A and B are shown apart, each in its own frame.
Chain A
Amino acid sequence: MEVPQKLKDYLNEARAPLPPISDPNEPLHIDSLGLIRLVSFLESDLGVRVEDDELLADNFATLGAIQKLLESKTPAGNTN
C-alpha cells in the first residue's frame, strides 16, 4: 500500500521543526507522546487497526517502517 499523502503530511507536521522527510529510512524523531498521537491518527483517520503487539517503537521509527506495517495489514476496506 502506498503511503497516503495524508499520513506524510501528518508526520511532517508531527516532527516539525525538523524539515520534511526526504528519506524513508531517516529516523522520524517523534517523541513517545507524539507516537501515541500517531497511533490514534492511523486508527481514526486512516482506518488502520494497530494491534497491541504492534505497539513497538521500531514499527514507528521511520516512514519506511510505518509503510511496512501498513503493508502487512489487510486494507481497511476489506476487513470483515
Chain B
Amino acid sequence: MKIDVLILGGGPGGAAAAMFLLREGITPVILEQDEFPRFHIGESLTGEAAQVLRRLGLEDKMNAMENPVKHGVRVYGTNATTTWYVKVSSRDANWNLSDSTTWQVRRSEFDKMMLDEAVARGAKLMHGTAIKALQDEKKGLVGLRVRWPDGKEEDISTKVVLDCSGQSTFLANQKITGPKYMGSYDKQVAFFTHVRGAIRGAGTTGVEAKDNTLIFYDKKFHWAWFIPIDKDIVSLGMVTPRAKFLEKKQTPDEYFRSEVYNINPEIGRRVPKLDLAEKVHVIPNYSYQVRGFCGKGFICLGDSHRFIDPIFSFGVTVTMREGEFAAPVIKQFLEGKLDDRENPFEELQMAFEKGIDNLEDMIDLFWEQPFAFATFVHQRYTDQMTDAFAGRIYESEHQPSPSIMAFRKLLKRTREYDADDYSVPIGSRYHPERAPLWAPDSPVEGTEEWIGRGRGLGLAEA
C-alpha cells in the first residue's frame, strides 16, 4: 500500500488535520485502533478551537448536537472569597476584539462526529495499530508497520506521517524524534467523573452563563474543574499531587469523594450531592516535551509532542490549530518544493514551539505567582489575557504580547531560540542531570524538589 499522508490517530487532531489536508487536495489515510465512540477527557474548547470548527464549516453541526455554549471561564480563588472571569473572545481581520462563544463537548460524541466528518469528506479510515516506525537512512521516516485487527502485520509506505497519537507519543517512543523530556508538572494526578444535578450559572450570557467552565483553585497544584457537557451532566474533576493520593491509601473513588469538597467551598454549593453518571477515572498529569518533533517524513501534532497542564483546556485547540498550519506546508512538501531542506518542516516546528512556549509561560505564572496573574487579568493586560485564554498564541497573532513578556520577567525566564541550551526545555533545565526522559523512572522525586534543587545549584536562568 502506498499513500501520501498517513495520520496516526483519529482523535480531533487527526480528524481536523485530515479535513484541512482534503481542502488542499490531499487525500489522507487515518489509522485508528479504537472503535468510536470511546471515552476521552478534555471536554472544554477555547475560543480559537471554535474558530477552527467554524472555518471547517462545522458550526451548524456543533449547534445541532446541542453542545453547551461556553461564554467564558470563571475562576474561584482560595476559599471562594474572590473570583475572576475571562470571556471567550475572537479577533477580526483587523485584530479588533469582540465577545464570542465556544462549546463544551462530550468527547466520545465530538470525536466521533469529527472522525465521521473527515471520512464523509473523503479521508480513508483504517482500523489497526501502529507497531513500528520504518526508517530509511536518506529519506527519514518512510512508513509504519501496522497490525490489523486479525493479527496480521503489514508495512505501509507513506511520504508523511502525521503523529496524532496523543499522549501515547508514538514517534517519540520509537525514537524517530529528538529526546522526550520531563515537563514541569509531572507529579500530579487528575480524578474525574460526570455528575448529575449540578447547579450551573443562572444567566444566558457573560459571567453567569449557565454552561461556562468553572475552575476552583485551592493552592498550588490543588484545583478542580466544572464543565457542563450536556443539559444534564457536568464533568467534575480534581487535580492533586500524586503523593497526597498515595498517602491516603484510598481507591480513586474514595479519594475523590473525600477530597473534592476540600478544594473549594464553592464546589459544595455547585454540586450539593455526588450523583455520579460515570465511574471515577484517574490519569496522571504527566507533562513532557519532545524535541525535534518534525523531520524528514514526519510531523507530530498536539499531545504527541507536548503536554503541559490541563488547567486552561488548550489540548484540542492546539492540536487542531497545528493541523491547520501543517496542511499547506505538507502540500508544498508533496509538490517537491521543500526537497532541498534537511528538515522540511523546521519552520512549522519552530512556530509550534514558540506558540506553546507562550502557553507554558502563562500556566507557569498562574501557578508560581497567582496574585500577579490575577492583576494582569483584572487590570493590566485584560485584552491580551483574553487572547491567550482563547488560544491566540502564535507569532502571526502578535505573540509574545507585552503580557507574555511580563510573565517571563516575573518568572525570571528568557526564551532564546538560538541559545546553545535551548534544546533542553525550560521545565527540564532545573533537572540536575538534564536527562531526557525515556522511561518514567526519573531520578528526582517531584517538581518542587526539582525546581528547588535546581535553584540551589544556580541553574535557574538569569
Asked if A and B bind, the verdict is: yes
Instruction: List the interface of chain A (C-beta within 8 A of B).
Output: 31-33, 35-36, 39-40, 52-53, 55-57, 60
Query: Is the CB–CB distance between A52 and B410 below 8 Å?
Result: yes
Cβ–Cβ < 8 Å partners of B370 in chain A: 32, 57
Given contacts A32-B82, A33-B77, contact A57 B371 (CB under 8 A): yes
Given contacts A31-B81, A32-B370, contact A53 B375 (CB under 8 A): no
Given A52-B380, A55-B410, verify A33-B372 contact (CB < 8 Å): no
**Residues on B with beta carbons closer than 8 Å to the beta carbon of A33:** 77, 81-82, 374
State which of A36, A52, A56 has its C-beta within 8 Å of the C-beta of B374: A36
Chain B residues whose C-beta falls within 8 Å of the C-beta of A52 in the assembled complex: 372, 376, 380, 406, 409-410
Check if A55 sits within 8 Å of B371, measured CB to CB.
yes
Majority-rule SS of B interface residues: helix
By the criterion CB–CB under 8 Å, are A32 and B371 in contact? yes
State in angstroms the CA–CA spacing of A52 and B374 once bound together. 12
A residues less than 8 Å from B23 (CB atoms): none
Cβ contact within 8 Å between A32 and B406: no
Interface residues of B in 348-398 (CB under 8 A from A): 369-372, 374-376, 378-380
* Dominant secondary structure of chain A at its interface with chain B: helix
Looking at the complex, which one of B77, B375, B376, B410 makes contact with A31 (CB distance below 8 Å)? B77
Cα A57 to Cα B375 with chains together (Å): 11
Cα A60 to Cα B378 in complex, Å, equals: 18
CB contacts (< 8 Å) of A56 on chain B: these are 369, 371-372, 410
Q: Nearest chain B CB to A38's CB is how many angstroms away?
A: 10
Of chain A, the residue at the smallest CB distance from B381 is: A52
Report which of A39, A40, A53 forms a contact with B406, defined as CB distance below 8 A: A53
Which B226-243 residues have C-beta < 8 A from chain A?
A: none
**Residue numbers in A under 8 Å from B409 (CB-CB):** 52-53
- Cβ-defined contact, B374 with A32, below 8 A: yes
Q: Nearest CB to that of B368 among chain A residues?
A: A56
Is the beta-carbon distance between B369 and A55 smaller than 8 angstroms?
yes
- Give the complex CA separation of A5 and B374 in angstroms: 28
Interface residues as binary, B228-267 with A (CB distance below 8 Å gives 1, 0 otherwise):
0000000000000000000000000000000000000000
| Contact residues on B (Cβ < 8 Å of other chain), bracket | 10 to 19
Cα separation A36 to B409 with both chains bound (whole Å): 19
The 5 closest A-B pairs by CB, nearest first: A55-B372, A33-B82, A52-B406, A57-B371, A53-B409
Q: Which residues of B contact A31 (CB under 8 A)?
A: 77-78, 81-82
A53/B410 in contact, CB under 8 A: yes
Report the nearest B residue to A52, measured CB to CB: B406
- Closest chain-B Cβ to A20's Cβ sits at a distance in Å of 21
Closest Cβ neighbor of B407 among chain A residues: A52
CB-defined A-B contacts under 8 Å, sample of 20: A31-B77, A31-B78, A31-B82, A32-B82, A32-B371, A33-B77, A33-B374, A36-B378, A39-B375, A39-B379, A52-B376, A52-B406, A52-B409, A53-B409, A55-B375, A55-B410, A56-B371, A56-B372, A57-B369, A57-B370
Q: Provide the bound-state CA to CA distance between A57 and B220, in Å.
A: 14
Contacts A52-B409, A53-B410, A55-B410 given; does A32 touch B369 at CB 8 Å: no
**Complex CA distance for A26 and B372, rounded to whole angstroms:** 22
CB neighbours (8 Å) of A60 from chain B are: 371
Known: A31-B81, A32-B371, A55-B371. 20 other contacts (CB 8 A): A31-B77, A31-B82, A32-B78, A32-B374, A33-B81, A33-B82, A35-B375, A36-B379, A39-B379, A40-B379, A52-B372, A52-B380, A52-B406, A52-B410, A53-B410, A55-B369, A56-B369, A56-B410, A57-B371, A60-B371
User: A39 CA to B410 CA in the complex, in Å?
Assistant: 17
Q: Are B371 and A35 in contact (CB under 8 A)?
A: yes
With a cutoff of 8 Å between Cβ atoms, the chain A residues found around residue B374 in the complex are: 32-33, 36
Complex contact A36–B81 (CB within 8 A)? no
Closest Cβ of chain B to A51, distance in Å, is: 9
By CB atoms of chain A within 10 A, which of B82, B372, B374, B376 has the most?
Answer: B372
Whole-angstrom CA separation of A39 from B372 in the bound complex: 11
Query: Considering the complex, which residues of chain B in the window 107-157 have a beta carbon less than 8 Å from any beta carbon of chain A?
Result: none
A35 to B376, CA, bound (A): 12
Bound CA span A40–B379, Å: 9
Contacts of A57 in B (CB 8 A): 369-371
Contacts of B371 in A (CB 8 A): 32, 35-36, 55-57, 60
Residue in A closest to B373 when the chains form the complex, CB atoms? A55
* B264, chain A: closest CB distance, angstroms: 14
